[in-house]
């Protein structure tokens, strides 16, 4: 292949991804407007939309899913897990109301896509993944893409990451049946917790919680959702 041919294919590939990202942003904006009666947010913050536009989602999906990398839907990433629908990633990021430099705990690294979006918002991200293969793959992928402010470890998400607490935000990308009791104490006063709660295969609700000065959580329902279940790390004896 000549240099001219290679350069031409690279340019066409870049244009293809740029067009796909633009279509996705329009779809996210439409979904945001349609769900405003639930969320109270008819539009997402411009910086959140820029973050979505900046993250190369094609780098976070399986090569076989490259053609649908920018479809507004979840995709399988192996180990029974998924990369979330981009609209949900954008909404949950927006609900955190992050300022640059804030610290975020993420429960459920998966492929690292949500982590990358949070990093694009200027957050320092501490992400816990229960599947060791996914944790290591995400760590390498994020490092390769230059997301140095994302820290990934293998562990039980129900425990959080107490050594790095307190956090300005906590985001949970799988659904427990109840709010894990270890997470609220790791949230700073005024911090935001965004989490889906509900049984597998049944109604789940996305909640936005704000920690009050007295340590309680002000909780608000945001949107009916469908997430994979949040599972505990198996004990060594099992």
Residues that are catalytic? 84
What is the rounded distance in angstroms from the CA atom of residue 17 to the CA atom of residue 188? Answer: 38
Question: Quick one: which of 95, 82, 100, 229 has its CA closest to 171?
Answer: 95
Q: How far is CA 6 from CA 9, 56, 63, 165, 210, in A?
A: 5, 21, 20, 48, 51
Closest CA to 107 of 216, 217, 196, 188: 196
Distance CA 32, CA 87 (A): 8
């Amino acid at each position: 292949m000549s240099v001219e041919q290679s350069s031409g294919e690279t340019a066409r590939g870049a244009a293809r991804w740029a067009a796909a990202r633009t279509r996705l942003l329009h779809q996210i904006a439409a979904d945001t407007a349609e769900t405003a009666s639930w969320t109270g947010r008819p539009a997402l913050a411009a910086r959140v939309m820029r973050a979505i536009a900046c993250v190369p989602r094609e780098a976070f999906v399986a090569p076989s899913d490259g053609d649908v990398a920018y479809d507004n839907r979840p995709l399988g990433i192996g180990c029974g897990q998924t990369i979330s629908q981009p609209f949900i990633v954008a909404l949950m990021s927006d609900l955190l109301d992050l300022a640059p430099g804030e610290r975020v705990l993420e429960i459920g690294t998966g492929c690292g896509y949500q982590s990358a979006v949070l990093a694009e918002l200027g957050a320092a991200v501490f992400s816990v993944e229960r599947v060791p293969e996914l944790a290591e793959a995400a760590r390498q992928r994020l490092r390769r893409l230059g997301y140095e402010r994302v820290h990934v470890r293998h562990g039980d998400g129900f425990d959080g990451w107490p050594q790095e607490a307190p956090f300005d935000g906590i985001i949970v990308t799988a659904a427990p049946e109840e709010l894990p009791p270890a997470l609220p104490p790791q949230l700073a006063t005024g911090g935001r917790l965004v989490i889906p709660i509900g049984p597998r295969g049944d109604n789940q609700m996305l909640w936005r919680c704000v920690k009050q000065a007295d340590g309680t959580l002000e909780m608000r329902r945001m949107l009916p959702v469908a997430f994979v279940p949040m599972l505990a790390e198996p004990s060594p004896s099992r």
